Amino acid sequence: MPSRNNNQSTPKLLSLATAVPKFIMRQSDIESFGAGIFSDRASNFSRMRGIYANAGVETRYSCVEMEWYAHDHGWPERNKLYVENAVSLLRETALSCLEKAGLQCGDIDGLVTVSTTGIATPSLDALLMNELPFRSDVQRLPVFGLGCAGGVLGLSRAASLARAQPGSRWMVLVVEICGLTFRNRDKSKSNIVGTALFGDGAAGAIISSQSAGGDGDYSFEFSGEHLWPDTLDIMGWQLRDDGLGVLFHRDIPDLVRRDMGPAAHAFLTRHGLSLNAIDDFVVHPGGAKVIDAMMEAFNAPAVAFDDARAILRDFGNMSAATVLFVLERTLARGATGRLLLSALGPGFTAAFLTMNRSPS
């Protein structure tokens, strides 16, 4: 690792970037598509059809055209598309992060790469390093299985690593190709819900424990997580012959409304904080009902979740990448003070991270 000034080890955000694939899909078109796909379960689909209007989603992005979803595809084909598109989006995101930070690939000391919607061995970071000139001694941490919580936890892991190695620069890369998990022979309610929510996207950030900051000099403070026991059936993937099948429990909003507040309170209390110390909430918008439940859990006004609702509306649920889209929007509107990032993922797991704007 290059020699650097080690007097300052507080991790700071240098840059943040997002990317989406080229195919845009509108909710009204997806609803019509779903009616055709699920026509053999017309009564069940009819009862659930309101989810398209109530999901809070207007547009999403996909790495394949809508017609692709109408046909059968095996696991090898799906995963090949996942790897190709994930690396492409990560490349775009990494280059954007570097440009915004005024850095080169050789300036990065470590990569934390997060994804749960496909399998890559060699890992995505290794594949990316064969396309971009990162140093051969870059430290790598590929992270799999955290689902929607992966964005917050990916930032947390990178910040911890930057803090442990003063003067280092870490790039966090998050990509989820959620659309490819749709299987047209799966007539379950979870699969129908997935068609109303999921989109594809990638996001990235550069975190440094050098003294110089960026993006309003936002520093990373505290991170933590909470896993509820006996909740393995709440959220996740079920591996099938033709791909990954989504698992959603219908009680997720109720669980959030009842249990998220105490978990957040316990996390903040451990670090001498309370919800009153939070100036902005940067939450993963799992769906419109989940945002409503978060609002109640945090006892916060509806306006506090405008950024989350806007990202859900324009991009859908991109799993782990989504919260970084929300963070980008929050910072772009000039947010000041302390931020609380939060997300929920399989396990059933809550992830928390606080960021604070350094005094000028």
Task: State the catalytic residues.
Answer: 148
Rounded-to-integer distance, Cα 87 and Cα 83, Å? 6
Rounded-to-integer distance, Cα 157 and Cα 109, Å? 14
Rounded-to-integer distance, Cα 129 and Cα 133, Å? 6
- In angstroms, how far is CA 256 from the centroid of its own chain? 18
The CA-based angle 80-85-87, given to 5 degrees, is 100
Burial class (CB in 10 A: 0-12, 13-18, 19+), 303: exposed
Measured over all CA atoms, what is the biggest interatomic distance in the chain, rounded to whole angstroms? 66
Rounded-to-integer distance, Cα 57 and Cα 64, Å? 19
Query: How, if at all, do strands 59-62 and 338-345 pair?
Result: unpaired
Rounded-to-integer distance, Cα 201 and Cα 322, Å? 8
**Phi/psi at 238 (nearest 5 deg)?**
-120, 115
Rounded-to-integer distance, Cα 320 and Cα 145, Å? 10
Rounded-to-integer distance, Cα 297 and Cα 201, Å? 27
Cα–Cα nearest to 199, from 224, 218, 182:
182
Q: Which one-letter amino acid corresponds to residue 28?
A: S
Task: List Cα–Cα distances, 77 to 243, 246, 300, in angstroms.
Answer: 9, 18, 44
> What's the DSSP call for residue 271?
T
